[in-house]
Amino acid sequence: MSAAPQQSSPTGQRVALFITCLADLYRPEVGFAAVRLLENAGYVVEVPAQGCCGQPNFNSGDRSGATEMAGGLMRRFAAYDYVVAPSGSCAAMLRCHYPTLFPEGSDERALADALAEKTHELTSFLSDIAGVSGASVVWPAAVTYHDGCSGLRELGIKQQPRKLLQAVHGLELREMTEADACCGFGGLFCVKYPDISTRIAATKTRDIAATGADYVVTGETGCLLQIQGKLHRDGSAIQVVHVAEILAGSLEDYPASPETGGSDADD
Amino acid sequence: MQTTSPKFKALSRAALADRTLQVSLDGLRRIMPEIRTAALNEMSDFEATCDQAAEIRNTAIASLDHYLRQFERQVQASGGQVHWAATGEEACQIVGRICSAAGAKKIIKSKSMVTEEIELNAWLENRGARDGQFEVTETDLGEYIIQLRGEKPSHILAPSLHVTLEEVAETFHAHHQIERQQPLSDPADMLVEARRVLRQKFLAAEVGITGANFLVAETGGVVIVTNEGNADLTACLPDTHIVVTGIEKVVPTLDDVGVLLRVLARSAIGERLSNYTTFVQGPRRAGDSSGPGNYHVVLLDNGRSNLLGTEFQDMLRCIRCSACLNHCPVYTAIGGHAYGSVYSGPMGAVLTPALSGLSSATHLPNASTFCGRCESVCPVRIPLPKMLRHWREQEFKRKMAPAGQRVGLRFWRILNRRPFVYRWVMRLVAIILRGFSRAGKNGRRWIRRLPLLGAAWTQQRDMAAPAPKSFQTKWRRQGAAK
Amino acid sequence: MSQTLSAREQILAAIRGAKPAPATDSTSTPRPTLQLTSPPDDPDTSIERFMSLAREEAATAERVAEAADVPRAVLRYLRSERLSLRLIIAGNARISGIVWESTADLDCAAEPVADDGDTVVTGCYAGVAEAGAVVTLSSSDHPSEFNFLAATHIVIVPASVVVDSFEQLWPRLRADYPERWPRMMNFIVGPSRTADLGVPSRLGAHGPSRVHIIVVDSC
């Protein structure tokens, strides 16, 4: 059950990793897995000093706050060939919504359009642009995949993570009923309307459990926290992992969490 | 329009705890997307047809005055009368005057969300005829059931979704003076009984009031869609037929109606077409043995024209199919009553603030995860999440959001001006959150209880603790170490 | 009078005053005709589709060669459903060649349909194959309430009036009624039904609980 890194000819292109605030805080192993995947695909990966993309402000109606945050982030990521995020919702914020924050014809708009063009969610970048197949990873497990709503409906991400997962040796992908139904996270929604949010999560965890899979996989840290939080509270043994962690072979090579051993833990 | 939307949180909590409602909603959530998918898969060009449906609705809205005037001329040429009402109150008065002028007391209605919106039944029953009360009977079975129970609709197509069969039986026992062999329990018997009781109402009625699904400008036709046939009986038996409709329902031509009909029933109930699609073209003709002698169309504005030229204009395209309700994770968790409005689900969350004012409906645009499923199933391509966001923008500008939220967003904005400040504050957040955590499964630390805002999460969910060091911190150390 | 007049002017002024976003004029765009997974290429396929889709919605349907065959077909149907042999015949059910009264066992009447329990026989204006829908127009030969008051509705559909799609129906209607339309046009798909008393839907909500279609090939 080893994970051999995939060798491919270096492209030399520079990718800025957009870690996203939730992964930065809660799940850094997602970031390291993403870096590994991108480097294996031949890209030079850098992590410019960064913060939040502004989605919480944007979705809460604070357009001027979102605009200010977008302006800052755009400048920090301007100099790269690609910007890749292990999150459909954050990538969609940059791709779909940043341009709408700035008036047509303005310099910021040009910057936002340029950024939108080169920003990608991780699995769609690996599959559609880098041409990665993920075949060198061995990880026998029964898993089910949860589609994050933004990635699916704003960026059309559906097949790419599945294609990559299905190439993992020994992995069995079982589709849950309504894999594309919302998990109930919804940004601030999960704490503003916690009862409804949890009820939606309960439908999702019921569908996950019905597959008999040992793992549920997702491409969104927000969804991950929500589904994991509900499963754990219910005493379920089902574990939640980010798709990058499986594809990078992180789950055997690296510790499962940052708490124990390994070069990443730093207590 | 009266709403109870400020009570949203309490109502939604009650709905979540209501076991029989949850069973109905679970059924709705599972079945409706399946049958819709089956119906649209039968067409090789369903998505293109929806694009065209959206275009047709846009054309009508872009020249609404022109098409309404054409429609009005055609109705008048056929011998009907057209009335315009700026507000719900005006519409009720017009209907009341028509009924009084006809000397009518017994009124039957087919399902019309517009008449629910303006609370026409209550108006007629309270203000009523000069010499005695109006008696108004809903003839759509779902509407009839909630009328007897004194309840509001909980779904725009299935108004009695929240009522169990046992409750229907109880209601019929309480309200029908009928000799029965045994108490009602079989829905087949309930249907027979309802049909008998309502048949008498149909035959005795002096005025029939319907809504409209579409208004055809080309011919002056009013299109009414049902599965029961009650609108048809309502429109052909009494001597007076009144159509009450929103002004936005007009479409230019018959061909346009054909396109819209193709996507309406498929989106709504997974059918190619409803059982009855009826085009009404004026009063009885010479030579007709039956049909109303008096035919009236009441065109209602009630806030619709205010949406024109605004970022909410696209909402006027809505054809009331209810696909967005059926596919919404929030609606299918809490049902329609929690919204406190006759229009619920995503379309209701956009339309209710528009018609009754944002301050009476502040929760509705916020109670959404922006999953986007509604937009993906809307047959006329209304960008519902975007409109909900626009309402949130208005709330933010008008400082209607809770103070804590405004302060938090402002803090987040300031924090993100400098990445190193951001990193240090997030380090502090991690330390604080980890302080509430304990070692647990899978080599992780877990948080079971948090105070303040965090309690909203931990009441019903655990939280995996943040990492001891953030990704950026580790990355920078790795970089420094190399 | 002046109150509603000013409401009209108010509303139209509000509409004109707002500046709706421009839209392309869809009336000039040719409409794509419906493409079902197996599009029909001849009238016979249309008729088969028409009958098959109507059956899917709980109507029953049969085909006879000649108009003269219709009364016997009706008799068979009523007997198989164990219904009374008393029929209300609409004027437009007397299409060429049908002599209802010649079939001894049928009790034919030409009178208004009563409250309920009756069987009516009508003709129709058209059939639309894309939805399995019968199209009827109100007239003295076909009072609209015949479609809704009776318990059983038998519709005689000449093969020649079955069209594939709505797009083929509208030009016919416009040509047949250039001045004034009949008061009511109904598209009817199968019996009346409701889901308000649970699923699966129950038949016979307010309209008929039985719809029987007889397509006549020679007409």
pLDDT in tens, B116-126: 999 999 999 88
Residue C23 lies in a domain: no
More confident residue, B179 or B210: B210
More confident residue, B125 or A189: A189
Cα of B389 vs its chain's centroid, Å: 18
Task: Give the tens place of pLDDT for each residue, C62-101.
Answer: 999 999 999 999 999 999 999 999 999 998 998 877 888 8
Phi, psi of B312 (to 5 degrees): -105, 5
Average pLDDT taken over every residue of chain B: 94
Distance (Å, whole) CA A229 – CA B317: 40
Q: Dihedral, CA atoms, B449, B450, B452, B456, nearest 10 degrees?
A: -60
Question: Would the CB atoms of B83 and C34 count as touching at under 8 Å?
Answer: no
Q: Dihedral, CA atoms, A217, A222, A227, A232, nearest 10 degrees?
A: 110
Residues 6+ apart with CB under 8 A from C177: none
Among C36, C149, C207, beta carbon nearest to B276: C207
The pLDDT of residue B2 is above 70: no
CATH of the domain at C128: 3.40.50.10420
Do the Cβ atoms of B20 and B154 come closer than 8 Å?
no
Q: What is the DSSP string of B259-313?
A: HHHHHHHHHHHS-SS-SEEEEE-SSPPTT-SSS-SEEEEEEE-TTSGGGTTSTTG
> Given pLDDT bands bounded at 50, 70 and 90, which one contains residue C102?
confident
Do the Cβ atoms of B320 and B264 come closer than 8 Å?
no
Task: Give the tens place of pLDDT for each residue, B133-166.
Answer: 899 999 999 999 999 999 999 998 999 999 999 9
Distance (Å, whole) CA A160 – CA A162: 5
> Given pLDDT bands bounded at 50, 70 and 90, which one contains residue A263?
very low
Task: Using a threshold of 3 CB pairs under 8 A, tell whether chains A and C touch.
Answer: no
User: Whats the size of chain C, residue-wise?
Assistant: 219
Task: Give the tens place of pLDDT for each residue, B281-301.
Answer: 999 988 888 899 999 999 999
Query: What residues 315-374 of chain B have any CB closer than 8 A to a CB of chain A?
Result: 329-330, 333-334, 366-373
Per DSSP, the three-state class of C209 is coil
Helix-helix angle B8-17:B19-41, to 10 degrees: 90
Task: Give the tens place of pLDDT for each residue, C112-157.
Answer: 777 677 899 999 999 999 999 999 999 999 999 999 989 999 999 9
Question: Would the CB atoms of B460 and A233 count as touching at under 8 Å?
Answer: yes
* B364–chain C nearest CA distance, Å: 26
What's residue A254's pLDDT?
A: 42
Residue C78 lies in a domain: yes
Name chain A contacts of B414, Cβ cutoff 8 Å: none
> Given pLDDT bands bounded at 50, 70 and 90, which one contains residue A191?
very high
What's residue A6's pLDDT?
A: 44
Q: DSSP letter for C30, please.
A: P
Among A31, A50, A198, beta carbon nearest to B419: A50
What's residue C26's pLDDT?
A: 44
Provide, rounded to the nearest whole percent, the portion of chain B with pLDDT above 90: 88
What's residue C183's pLDDT?
A: 94
Distance (Å, whole) CA B293 – CA C69: 39
Name chain B contacts of C174, Cβ cutoff 8 Å: 254
Task: Give the tens place of pLDDT for each residue, B234-249.
Answer: 999 999 999 999 999 9
Name chain A contacts of B368, Cβ cutoff 8 Å: 186, 189
Rg (CA), chain A: 18
A262 touches chain B (CB under 8 A): no
Do the Cβ atoms of B234 and B139 come closer than 8 Å?
yes
Task: Give the tens place of pLDDT for each residue, C11-50.
Answer: 999 999 986 655 544 444 455 555 444 455 577 889 999 9
What's residue B290's pLDDT?
A: 83
Name chain A contacts of B456, Cβ cutoff 8 Å: 190-192, 194
The pLDDT of residue A257 is above 60: no
User: Is this complex scored with an ipTM above 0.90?
Assistant: yes
Rg (CA), chain B: 26
Provide, rounded to the nearest whole percent, the portion of chain A with pLDDT above 70: 89
Rg (CA), chain C: 21
Across B71-159, where does the E strand assignment appear? Answer: 81-85, 106-109, 135-138
Residues 6+ apart with CB under 8 A from A63: A57, A101, B393, B396
- For chain B, domain boundaries: 1-41+322-401, 43-300, 422-481
Domain extent, residue C135, equals 41-218
Longest Cα–Cα distance in chain A: 54
Average pLDDT taken over every residue of chain A: 91
What's residue B130's pLDDT?
A: 59
| Cβ atoms < 10 Å from Cβ of C217 | 15
Counting beta carbons within 10 angstroms of the beta carbon of residue C199, is it exposed (0 to 12), middle (13 to 18) or buried (19 or more)?
exposed
Residue C15 lies in a domain: no
Over residues C161-181, the mean pLDDT reads: 93
B442 touches chain A (CB under 8 A): yes
Query: What residues 251-290 of chain B have any CB closer than 8 A to a CB of chain A?
Result: none
> Given pLDDT bands bounded at 50, 70 and 90, which one contains residue A35?
very high
Closest to A153 measured CA to CA, from B38, B260, B378: B378
More confident residue, C99 or A258: C99
Task: Give the tens place of pLDDT for each residue, B364-402.
Answer: 999 999 999 999 999 999 999 999 999 999 999 999 998
Provide, rounded to the nearest whole percent, the portion of chain C with pLDDT above 70: 87
Q: Which residue of B has its CA nearest to A185?
A: B369
What's residue A125's pLDDT?
A: 97
The pLDDT of residue B308 is above 60: yes
Phi, psi of A109 (to 5 degrees): -60, -40
Query: What residues 229-258 of chain A have any CB closer than 8 A to a CB of chain B?
Result: 229-230, 232-233, 239, 255-258
Distance (Å, whole) CA B55 – CA A127: 35
What's residue A21's pLDDT?
A: 96
Task: Give the tens place of pLDDT for each residue, A237-246.
Answer: 999 999 999 9
Over residues A248-255, the mean pLDDT reads: 67
Name chain A contacts of B30, Cβ cutoff 8 Å: 177
Tell the residue number behind the tokens 């109880």, with chain if given: B170
Q: DSSP letter for C164, please.
A: S
Closest to A96 measured CA to CA, from A79, A73, A120: A120
Closest to B24 measured CA to CA, from B407, B403, B334, B447: B334
Q: DSSP letter for A147, please.
A: P
> Given pLDDT bands bounded at 50, 70 and 90, which one contains residue A3?
very low
Provide, rounded to the nearest whole percent, the portion of chain B with pLDDT above 70: 98
Name chain B contacts of A257, Cβ cutoff 8 Å: 442-444
Number of structural domains found in chain C: 1
Phi, psi of C109 (to 5 degrees): -135, 145
The alpha carbon dihedral of B95, B100, B103, B108 has a sign of positive
The pLDDT of residue B312 is above 90: yes
Among B56, B62, B271, beta carbon nearest to C22: B62
What's residue B425's pLDDT?
A: 96
Question: Would the CB atoms of A153 and B369 count as touching at under 8 Å?
Answer: no
The alpha carbon dihedral of B176, B182, B187, B192 has a sign of negative
Question: Would the CB atoms of A229 and B464 count as touching at under 8 Å?
Answer: yes
The count of CB pairs under 8 A between chains B and C is 270
Name chain B contacts of C192, Cβ cutoff 8 Å: 227-229, 275-276
Question: Would the CB atoms of A62 and B366 count as touching at under 8 Å?
Answer: no
Domain B43-300, CATH: 3.40.50.10420
Q: Which residues pair with A84 in a beta bridge?
A: A17, A120
Distance (Å, whole) CA A148 – CA A74: 24
Report the DSSP pairing between strands B250-251 and B214-216: parallel
Question: Would the CB atoms of C147 and B43 count as touching at under 8 Å?
Answer: no
The pLDDT of residue A4 is above 80: no
What's residue C38's pLDDT?
A: 47
Task: Give the tens place of pLDDT for each residue, B431-453.
Answer: 999 999 999 977 889 999 999 88
Long-range contacts of B62-67 (CB under 8 A, 24+ apart): B62/C20, B62/C21, B62/C22, B62/C23, B63/C20, B64/B247, B64/B248, B64/B250, B64/B305, B64/B308, B64/C15, B64/C20, B65/C12, B65/C15, B65/C16, B67/B217, B67/B250, B67/B251, B67/B252
